[in-house]
Amino acid sequence: MIQAVILFCIGLVLLIKGGDWFVDGAVGVAHKYRLPEILIGATIVSIGTTIPEVMVSSIAAAAGQSQTAYGNAIGSCICNTALIAAVTIAAKSVQEIDAKAFRTPIIFFFIAAIFYSAVACITGEFSRLIGILLLAIFVIYMVITVRQALNNRVSVKVEEEEQEEKPMWKNILFLIGGAAIIAVGANLLVNNGQIIAKGLGVPESVIALTFIALGTSLPEFVTAITSLVKGHSSLSLGNIIGANLFNLVFVSGMAITINPFKVPSEKLIAGQNASLVVDIPVMFATMLLLTVPTLISKKLRRYQGIVLLLIYFTYVLFQFFF
C-alpha cells in the first residue's frame, strides 16, 4: 500500500510537470507564429491542460476500468468549476470579463453536456458511435473557434522581457517531452489509484471523482492562478470552460471510442444511480452558477466563488460519507 501511495504521488508530480512543459511548448509555437491570445487560450492551452485527463481516461478505458474513465471526466468538470475557478474568483472581489468572447465555448459545453447526460440517463451506456459523435462535436468546436479567432486577428504584443523567444526546436522538445511525461504519470496514477481504492475499501468511482479528478485538473489550476496573478481573468475563465468542454467531448469521446462502457452504478441513492442523480446535476449546477451571472453582468463576483467552494466541499463529503 505504501509503495502504491508513493507511486501515485509520483504520477501526480509527473502529470503536473508534463502538463507544464506541454503548455509551454504549445504556447511557444503559437507565439512564434503570432497567433492571437484568445486562440491560444481557447484551443492550445485548453487542450494542453486537458491532456492528463485524456491519458488517464483512455488508459483506464483500454484496461476496462469504466468507473475511472467515466468518473474522471465528470469529476474533472466539477473540480475545474467548483474548486479551481472558485478559488480564483473568491480571491478577487470583482473581475471584468469579455463575455462575448466566451459565448461559443459556453454554448458548446451545454449542448455537449445535455447530449452526454441524455445518453447516460436514457440508455445507461456509451456506445462507440456516441464516442465518435462526441469527437465530432470537438472537431466542429475547434473549427468554429479557430475561424472566429483568425477573423478577429490582431497583432500580438510582446512584452520587452519576452522579446527573446525560445528557438522552435525547444518548443517542439517541450511538446514531445511533456506528452511523454504525461503518459508515464497517467499510467502510474491509474494503476496505483486502483490499488489504493481497493486497499481502503473505497469505490473506484469515488476515487475517480475526487482524487484522480483533482490530480488531472492541476494543470488547469496552475494556469488559472498564473492568469489571475497576471491580470488575465478572461484567459483563466476561458481555459476552465474550454477544459470542461474538452472533458466531455474529447476526453470522454476518446475513452468511449477506445472501449465503450456502461454508466457506473456501484453507488446508489434511494435506489437510484448516484451518478445520474448527484454527479451530473452537480456538474450542471456549478457551470450554470459560473456562467449565467457572468454573461449577464460581464463580471465575476466573489460570491460566485464562495458558493462554488461550498458546493464542492459538500460534494466531496457526500462522496466519502454517504
Q: Answer whether residue 40 shows pLDDT above 60.
A: yes
- Per-residue pLDDT averaged across 9-20, rounded? 80
pLDDT of amino acid 233: 63
* Domain annotation covers residue 103: yes
Task: Kindly state whether residue 142 falls inside one of the protein's structural domains.
Answer: yes
Give Cβ neighbours of residue 303 (< 8 Å, ≥ 6 apart). none
Residue 223 lies in a domain: yes
Of 14, 19, 84, 16, residue with least CA distance to 48: 19
pLDDT (tens digit per residue) in 210-257:
667 766 676 777 667 666 666 666 666 777 888 899 889 998 998 899
Is 162 domain-assigned? no
Q: Longest Cα pair distance anywhere in the chain, in angstroms?
A: 61
Please check whether residue 24 lies inside any domain of the structure.
yes
pLDDT(163) > 60: no
Burial class (CB in 10 A: 0-12, 13-18, 19+), 114: exposed
What's the pLDDT score for residue 273?
82
Q: What's the burial of 268, exposed, middle or buried (CB within 10 Å: 0-12/13-18/19+)? A: exposed
Cα–Cα distance, 196 to 191 (Å, whole number) = 9
Give a yes or no: residue 292 inside a domain.
yes
- Write the pLDDT tens digit of every residue in 104-138: 889 999 999 999 999 999 998 999 999 999 999 99
Which among 106, 111, 77 is positioned nearest to 234, based on CA atoms? 106
Model confidence at 159, pLDDT cuts 50, 70, 90, reads very low
Mean pLDDT, range 272-279, rounded to an integer: 85
**Domain-located, residue 305:** yes
Q: What CATH number is associated with residue 129?
A: 1.20.1420.30
Q: Is 262 helix (H, G, I), strand (E, B) or coil?
A: strand
Residue that wins the pLDDT comparison between 147 and 20: 147
Predicted pLDDT at 71 = 78
pLDDT digits (tens, 9 = 90+) for 168-192: 888 888 878 887 887 788 778 767 8
Domain hosting residue 207, numbered range: 2-148+170-321
pLDDT of residue 198: 74
C-alpha cell of residue 215: 490530480
Q: Please state the domain count of the chain.
A: 1
By percentage, how much of the chain surpasses pLDDT 90?
21
Q: Does residue 278 sit within a domain? A: yes
